[in-house]
Amino acid sequence: MRRWNGWGDEATVVELPAHGAAFLANRIGAGQPLADAGLEQVLARVPASRLDAHPLISLDVETRVRHARGQSLPDWLAMREGEFGQFPDGVAFPETPQQIRELLALAVERDLVLIPYGGGTSVAGHINPQAGDKAVLTLSLERMNRLLELDEESLIATFGPGASGPQVESQLRARGYTLGHFPQSWELSTLGGWVASRSSGQQSLRYGRIEQLFAGGILETFAGSMELPTFPATAAGPDLRELVMGSEGRFGVISEVRVRVSRLAEQESFYAVFMPSWGQALKGIRSLAQARVPLSMLRLSNAIETETQLALAGHPGQIALLEKYLALRGAATGKCMLTFGVTGSRAQNAASLKQARRLLKSFGGVFTGTLLGKKWAENRFRFPYLRHGLWSAGYVVDTLETATDWSNVDNLLGRIEESLRNGLAEEGERVHVFTHLSHVYGEGSSIYTTYVYRPGGSYAEALARWRKLKTAASEVIAHNRGTISHQHGVGRDHAPWLPAEKGPLGMAALRTLARHFDPEGRLAPGVLLED
Ligand SMILES: Cc1cc2nc3c(=O)[nH]c(=O)nc-3n(C[C@H](O)[C@H](O)[C@H](O)COP(=O)(O)OP(=O)(O)OC[C@H]3O[C@@H](n4cnc5c(N)ncnc54)[C@H](O)[C@@H]3O)c2cc1C
């Protein structure tokens, strides 16, 4: 069963290993565990619903609790403390586009606010109801999860918008196909959510981001249904798919999604290479991207992330042996782990592997074979569970991300890390900060930073510390040529920094679009656009 107050399935537990706890204690001090609230306690606090009974709507208290918060750090703290703030008044479970249209009509008739809800994995405050006079209806797409059509000649699949990662892949794989979209939230996030928040999967290098995969579909709006037909390419004016991608529930509800799929590859494998320094590693990864070596995935950890990963990995004896071997081959202190994947036919993969190895060797890379790559593939969706292990040990962990041009990657990364590392210095607190690059392009790269800090003595303190850190890093991003989000979207948490990126005219255009599709401002108010 899905956790009501954290990440993922209750059956999966990832503890912080003892040497990992010692590593963190050494870096930022001993953990400070806080007490968690119980579900019963929270259920007792849910106010009566302001909605009338309706066949498509659940007013069940636990269902309302389970759809009240996403997965951002403020969400996490609210759920653990049991102080949820606002709950939706009800959760609707439509099964057809027609029922979505009926719910839109109901929202007008009863003067409701509507929040489209995919998997609820937002990490930017997208799906939280806000206090207000109007009743809030969350619209869960979870029952619209089927593969509706597969055009095997054109490689286009039509899905209900609520299909989660596993539902998408299992239905396609049964027919010999894959979407190839694997965000780390894959277990729970949905096709509609990926489109609405412009998601990027771990193997975007081969399959593309959702922008490349989203071929068309239907958007249900207060102004009517907008159908986006599929074309291999078109010069017929601006592409309306761009209005839907990143619309974050503000313009309408995506009721059908058509995606470009691929035949399952013959073979796939992942490898790890250790680069002797960050400078050499950056040159190596940039060269791989710009030479268009056909890899399916690339991830470069900086030296601190490499050290942290090895410390948290378990098996200290084996890690010590690995470190000894790497040091002998020239990758000692300051080394950076680079993981890459090849996906395709055996012949293609052999050629790609050869090209990647040769290129990385020219920058001093030490190839370690498939063992660490296999571990990465096995654990690729397990890392988020570690938030629980860290929390129990008394540490708070959050991540943030951006993208910028290659000429600015090193500068921006350094400034983000510095803003976080020194962010709590006035309170005498240290913050453990590390980064990787995981979506690389010919022109630049995403930057994904993780930070771990101590919560202080209370939930209020933990949240205040997060606010300080998040604001400092977001200011750095906005003023140093970074996008406020490469893959998590805007939501409410990033909305204050969107004008710096879009400019006044761009913001006015977005507001006009929102008013066009939703004249009374009923859909997800405050998300994407603050007003
Ligand atoms: C542990 C973890 C790891 C993550 N890793 C990644 C990653 O690797 N890559 C990445 O891109 N993101 C990642 N995310 C962020 C998140 O998973 C993505 O933003 C994802 O696209 C959200 O999908 P969802 O279905 O959960 O949408 P939700 O969180 O339910 O909603 C997100 C937004 O989309 C809107 N929406 C959802 N469905 C519809 C619909 N049918 N019609 C209209 N609007 C809709 C909602 O109103 C909301 O504004 C991660 C999150 C977590 C918690």
| Beta-strand relationship, 113-117 and 136-140 | parallel
Among 7, 121, 205, 449, residue to substitute to test ligand 1 (most atoms within 8 Å of Cβ): 121
- Alpha carbon distance 418, 477 (integer Å): 12
Residue 510 beta carbon below 6 angstroms from any ligand 1 atom: no
> Cβ of 292: how many Cβ atoms within 10 Å?
10
Tokens of 130: 């806000």
Q: Is the CB of 495 under 6 A from ligand 1?
A: no
Give, in degrees to the nearest 5, the angle at Cα 451 between 85 and 32: 65
For ligand 1, is residue 217 a contact (CB within 6 Å)?
no
Cα(382)–Cα(12) distance, integer angstroms: 9
Q: Is 475 left (phi over 0), alpha (psi -120 to 50) or beta?
A: alpha
Kindly give, in sequence order, each residue whose CB lies less than 8 Å from that of residue 1, ignoring residues fewer than 6 positions away: 9, 10
Tokens coding 77: 């703290």
**Does 163 contact ligand 1 (Cβ within 6 A)?**
no
Helix axes 303-312, 316-328, angle to 10 degrees: 140
Task: Look at the block and give the residue holding tokens 């790497």.
Answer: 326
Cα 194 to averaged position of ligand 1 atoms, centre (Å): 5
Q: Is the CB of 128 under 6 A from ligand 1?
A: no
* pLDDT at position 447: 98
Q: Is the CB of 487 under 6 A from ligand 1?
A: yes
Q: Per-residue DSSP letters for 348-371?
A: HHHHHHHHHHHHHHTTT-EE--SH
Q: Ligand 1 pocket test: which of 130, 141, 158, 189 has the largest number of ligand atoms within 8 Å of its C-beta?
A: 189
Return the closest-CA partner of residue 387 out of 316, 491, 312, 307: 312
Residues in the chain, pLDDT under 50:
none
C-beta 8 within 6 A of ligand 1:
no
Q: Which of 28, 21, 20 is nearest to 430 (CA)?
A: 28
Residue matched to tokens 């001093």: 364
Per residue in 124-173, pLDDT (tens digit) is: 999 999 999 999 999 999 999 999 999 999 999 999 999 999 999 999 99
Q: How far is the CA of 279 from the centre of ligand 1 (A)?
A: 34
Give the pLDDT confidence score for residue 315 in this predicted structure: 80
Q: Is the dihedral of CA 128, 131, 132, 138 positive or negative?
A: positive
Cα–Cα distance, 510 to 247 (Å, whole number)? 9
Torsion of CA 379, 385, 388, 390, to 10 degrees: 40
* Pocket flag, ligand 1, residue 121 (CB < 6 Å): yes
pLDDT of residue 312: 83
Distance 214 CA to ligand 1 centre (A): 15
Cβ(118) to ligand 1 under 6 A? yes
State if residue 138 touches ligand 1 by the CB under 6 angstroms criterion.
no
Residue 517, Cβ neighbours under 10 Å: how many?
Answer: 19
